[in-house]
A = this chain, B = another copy of it.
Amino acid sequence: MTDCSVVDLLSGKFSVGQVVKVKGWVRTRRDSKAGISFVAVYDGSCFDAIQAVVPNSLSNYEEVLRLTTGCSVMITGEVVESPGQGQAFEIQATGVEVIGWVEDPDTYPMAAKRHTVEFLREHAHLRPRTNLIGAVARVRNSLAQAIHRFYHERGYIWVSTPIITASDTEGAGEMFRVSTLDLENLPRNDQDAVDFSQDFFGKESFLTVSGQLNAETYACALSKVYTFGPTFRAENSNTSRHLAEFWMMEPEVAFADLDDVAALAEDMLKYVFKAVLEERGDDMAFFAQRIEKQAISRLESFISKDFAQVDYTDAIEILLQSGRKFEMDVSWGIDMSSEHERYLAEEHFKAPVVVKNYPRDIKAFYMRQNDDGKTVAAMDVLAPGIGEIIGGSQREERLEVFDARLEEMGLNKEDYSWYRDLRRYGSVPHSGFGLGFERLVSYVTGMSNIRDVIPFPRAPKQADY
């Protein structure tokens, strides 16, 4: 008797006639008048459940008749061809052992019926038991694995950039403080301000908003690196597109310019989409059926097309000449909103678009200044169906240009001394981008609320589990 997973059984790894043992949870049970029960058992290894055909000759058949959704069972029996549609094999059960009952099935939150995503979110510890969230978890894993594989195959080194940081960076206003100070007895300094020198890290410390600056230090030593880890925003916005805690993937490449990393972004996205279509056809079929009709076709289309490339300045021209009335007015200098981005990708180019060379005033201090004095070597990748999915730039590697920009923005040179060192010692052109991992999972699955594509979402007033 061989222990086996549902995916191995359904994919024919065991031959008809073999005696097997399967462990999992009951999805549904149906009893026929002929004294046979059909018990569908899942174990998370794939979307589908395996059907066990249970005869009433089993000594504990009365237990079988009490099985409900969510009960854990161990089923032994023979692999047989399935006469029914939809699956090739089933199990002719010779034994059903109940491992764990469901206490009070009538109130079991995950009973076999359609639940709203809002209801599931309130039961984040049980929702992976549903078809929907189980499929999300498998697709999320498939994407993460493909990302690591893509970079590893190309000689990139995964670098773990710090989560806690006392480094002064942009956007400190939206950062979470990390502290062990006793709030009932805050230490004070001479000026009667809170004395962070007595805090754990000896300085006021925060959760990171991006690993980029740290990743640059490793790219300027090892050439090709990437980060993949959690990042944080203390933004008080309760929307379907924001999380306080999310995973970010950021490659950083020495000797690469903006076009190089635009090409990298294209290769990477196509690689991971191919992987998920190959590995998770079952789950993707479910998403196409239940969540977003285009789930599969839009990935296929994405893979098959060359990315369009357009300068920000030309993109603005396209929008102005579109004859379209946008909610937000178009003019050179605006930070494009979702409606503009989607028009470009979905209607004008009908393909993923890389928009390049944005106005410097709407972009970060570290981006490389172009010769026109007005724009920086920044890019966004816009995908049909979602808009911006990747943002990146070439970094300013010229010390004197960087310093002038710091001064212009009123930032303190001392705070960037280690970052400036990269420009003082063997500086190289380098570029990178960031991909919000949950945005990616959301795009692939078609799940419209980002809180449903991360196991335990963190948002304002929400840090349970």
Would you call A70 and B426 a contact (CB within 8 A)? yes
**B160–A145 contact, CB under 8 A?**
no
Tell me the chain A residues, 135-150 only, with Cβ under 8 Å from chain B. Answer: 137-138, 140-141, 144-145, 148
CA distance in complex: A155, B186 (Å): 49
Within 8 A of B (CB), among A250-306: 254-255
Residues in B with CB closer than 8 Å to A244 are 164, 200-201
Distance (whole angstroms) from the CB of A160 to the closest CB of chain B: 6
* A178–B176 CA distance with the chains assembled, in angstroms: 6
Interface 1/0 per residue, A378-418 and B, CB below 8 Å: 00000000000000000001000000000000000000001
CB distance from A461 to the nearest CB of B (A): 4
Shortest A373–chain B CB gap in Å is 23
Bitwise, A423-456 to B at CB < 8 A (1) or not (0) is 1111111000000000000000000000000111
Interface string of A176-213 (1 = CB under 8 A from B): 11111101101000000110000011110101000000
Is A326 close to B, CB under 8 A? no
**B126 near A162 (CB under 8 angstroms)?**
no
Annotate A93-110 by CB proximity to B: 1 below 8 A, 0 otherwise: 000000111110000101
A103 and B424 contact, Cβ closer than 8 Å, known pairs A162-B463, A418-B125, A456-B214: yes
Nearest CB in chain B: distance from A414 CB, A: 13
Q: Among A24, A223, A425, A464, find the residue whose CB has the most chain B CB atoms closer than 10 A.
A: A425
A72 cross-chain contacts in B, Cβ below 8 A: 426-428
Going nearest first, the 5 A-B pairs with the smallest beta carbon separation are A44-B222, A100-B427, A128-B221, A202-B461, A201-B463
